[in-house]
Chain A
Amino acid sequence: MALSDYEPVIGLEVHCQLKTRTKSFCACPVVFGAPPNSAVCPVCLGYPGVLPVLNREMVTLAMRVALATGSEIQERSVFARKNYFYPDLPKGYQISQLDRPLAVGGHVPVRTSGGERPIRLSRIHLEEDAGKLMHEFPWDDVPTGASLVDLNRAGTPLIEIVSEPEIRSGDEAWDYLNRLRRIVRYVDASDGNMEEGSLRCDANVSVRRKGAVPLGTKVEVKNLNSINHVRKAIEHEVERQAGTLDRGGAVVQETRLWHPETGTTRPMRSKEEAMDYRYFPDPDLGTLEVDGEWKQGVAESMPELPDARVARLVLQYGLPLADADTICLSRPLADWFEAAALAHPSNPKGVANWLLSELLSRIGDADRQAGRVPLAPAALARLVARIDDGTISGKIGKELLPLLIDSGKDPDELIREKGLVQVTDEGEIRGVVEGVVGANPQQAAAFRAGKTQALGWFVGQVMKASGGKANPAIVNRLLKERLEQG
Chain B
Amino acid sequence: MSAVDRLLDGPAADLARAVREREVTAVAVAEKALGRVRAAADRHGSYLWFAEDLALAQAAEVDRLVEHGENFPLAGVPLAVKDNIHVETLPSTAGSKILAGFVAAESATCVRRLVAAGAVVVGKTNCDEFGMGSSNESSAYRPVKNPWDPERVPGGSSGGSAAAVAARSAPLAIGTDTGGSVRQPASLCGLVGWKPTYGRVSRYGLIAFASSLDQAGAFARTVEDAALAFREMAGEDPRDSTSLRTPVPDVLGRMKKGVEGLRVGLLLEAEAEGGLAPDVRKSFEGTAELLRKAGATIVEVSVPRVPMAVPVYYLVATAEASSNLARFDGIRYGARRGDGDLASVYTGTRSAGFGPEVKRRILLGTFALSAGYQDAYYGRAERVRALLRRDFDAAFLKVDAILCPTSPETAFRFGAKTADPLQMYLADVFTVPASLAGLPALSVPSGLSSEGLPIGMQFIGPVDSEPVLFALARSVEEGAGVWTLKPPDAL
Chain A residues in contact with chain B, CB under 8 A?
Answer: 42, 45-54, 81, 83, 85, 87, 90-93, 149, 276, 278-280, 283-286
Residues on the A chain within 8 Å of B86, using CB: 49
Q: Find out whether the CB atom of A81 lies under 8 angstroms from the CB atom of B323.
A: yes
- A sample of 28 cross-chain residue pairs with beta-carbon separation below 8 angstroms, ordered by A number, consists of A46-B327, A48-B92, A48-B94, A48-B99, A49-B85, A49-B86, A49-B92, A49-B104, A49-B205, A49-B207, A50-B204, A50-B205, A53-B241, A85-B326, A87-B331, A91-B326, A91-B327, A92-B323, A92-B326, A92-B327, A93-B323, A149-B331, A278-B366, A278-B369, A278-B371, A280-B319, A280-B378, A283-B242
Residues on the B chain within 8 Å of A278, using CB: 322-323, 366, 369-371, 374
Chain B residues in contact with chain A, CB under 8 A?
Answer: 85-86, 92, 94, 99, 102, 104-105, 108, 203-208, 210-212, 238-242, 319-320, 322-323, 325-329, 331-333, 342, 346, 366, 369-371, 374, 378
Q: How far is the CA of A45 from the CA of B333 in the complex (A)?
A: 10
Q: How far is the CA of A49 from the CA of B369 in the complex (A)?
A: 23
Nearest A residue to B332, CB-CB: A45
Q: Find out whether the CB atom of B204 lies under 8 angstroms from the CB atom of A51.
A: yes
Q: Find out whether the CB atom of B326 lies under 8 angstroms from the CB atom of A48.
A: no
The residue that A284 contacts in the complex, of B85, B102, B241, B325, with Cβ under 8 A, is: B241
B48 to chain A, nearest CB (A): 15
Nearest A residue to B240, CB-CB: A51
The residue that A48 contacts in the complex, of B327, B371, B374, with Cβ under 8 A, is: B327
User: Which of A42, A48, A91 has its CB near the most chain B CB atoms (within 10 A)?
Assistant: A48
Q: What is the predominant secondary structure among interface residues of chain A facing chain B?
A: loop
Q: Find out whether the CB atom of B320 lies under 8 angstroms from the CB atom of A49.
A: no
The residue that A51 contacts in the complex, of B92, B241, B319, B370, with Cβ under 8 A, is: B241
Q: How far is the CA of A83 from the CA of B329 in the complex (A)?
A: 13
Q: Find out whether the CB atom of B323 lies under 8 angstroms from the CB atom of A49.
A: no
Nearest A residue to B98, CB-CB: A48
A323 to chain B, nearest CB (A): 50
Q: Find out whether the CB atom of B331 lies under 8 angstroms from the CB atom of A285.
A: no
Residues on the B chain within 8 Å of A276, using CB: 370-371
Q: How far is the CA of A400 from the CA of B331 in the complex (A)?
A: 62
Q: How far is the CA of A276 from the CA of B371 in the complex (A)?
A: 6
Residues on the A chain within 8 Å of B204, using CB: 49-51
Residues on the B chain within 8 Å of A149, using CB: 331-332
Residues on the B chain within 8 Å of A46, using CB: 327, 332
A433 to chain B, nearest CB (A): 85
A486 to chain B, nearest CB (A): 95
Residues on the B chain within 8 Å of A284, using CB: 208, 211, 241-242
Q: Find out whether the CB atom of B102 lies under 8 angstroms from the CB atom of A48.
A: yes
B98 to chain A, nearest CB (A): 10
Q: How far is the CA of A135 from the CA of B203 in the complex (A)?
A: 37
Using known A-B contacts A91-B327, A278-B374, A283-B212, determine if residue A53 contacts B238 with beta carbons closer than 8 Å: yes
Q: How far is the CA of A445 from the CA of B333 in the complex (A)?
A: 97
A159 to chain B, nearest CB (A): 20
> What 3 A-B pairs are tightest by C-beta distance, nearest first?
A92-B326, A283-B212, A278-B369
The residue that B239 contacts in the complex, of A53, A83, A85, A279, with Cβ under 8 A, is: A53
Q: Find out whether the CB atom of B92 lies under 8 angstroms from the CB atom of A83.
A: no
A286 to chain B, nearest CB (A): 6
Q: Find out whether the CB atom of B104 lies under 8 angstroms from the CB atom of A285.
A: no
B407 to chain A, nearest CB (A): 26
Nearest A residue to B333, CB-CB: A47
User: Which of B105, B204, B207, B331 has its CB near the most chain A CB atoms (within 10 A)?
Assistant: B331
Nearest A residue to B212, CB-CB: A283
Residues on the A chain within 8 Å of B210, using CB: 283
Residues on the B chain within 8 Å of A87, using CB: 329, 331, 342
Q: Find out whether the CB atom of A90 lies under 8 angstroms from the CB atom of B92.
A: no
Q: How far is the CA of A369 from the CA of B127 in the complex (A)?
A: 59
Residues on the A chain within 8 Å of B366, using CB: 278
Nearest B residue to A42, CB-CB: B105
Q: How far is the CA of A276 from the CA of B374 in the complex (A)?
A: 11
Using known A-B contacts A51-B239, A53-B241, determine if residue A85 contacts B94 with beta carbons closer than 8 Å: no
The residue that B208 contacts in the complex, of A45, A48, A85, A279, with Cβ under 8 A, is: A48
Q: How far is the CA of A285 from the CA of B319 in the complex (A)?
A: 16
Residues on the B chain within 8 Å of A81, using CB: 323
Q: How far is the CA of A45 from the CA of B241 in the complex (A)?
A: 18
Residues on the B chain within 8 Å of A92, using CB: 323, 325-327, 329
Q: How far is the CA of A419 from the CA of B417 in the complex (A)?
A: 104
Residues on the B chain within 8 Å of A90, using CB: 327, 331-332
Q: How far is the CA of A90 from the CA of B212 in the complex (A)?
A: 21
Q: How far is the CA of A53 from the CA of B202 in the complex (A)?
A: 13
Q: How far is the CA of A91 from the CA of B324 in the complex (A)?
A: 8
Q: How far is the CA of A284 from the CA of B326 in the complex (A)?
A: 15
Q: How far is the CA of A50 from the CA of B327 in the complex (A)?
A: 12
B340 to chain A, nearest CB (A): 9
B12 to chain A, nearest CB (A): 25
Q: How far is the CA of A50 from the CA of B102 in the complex (A)?
A: 14
B365 to chain A, nearest CB (A): 9
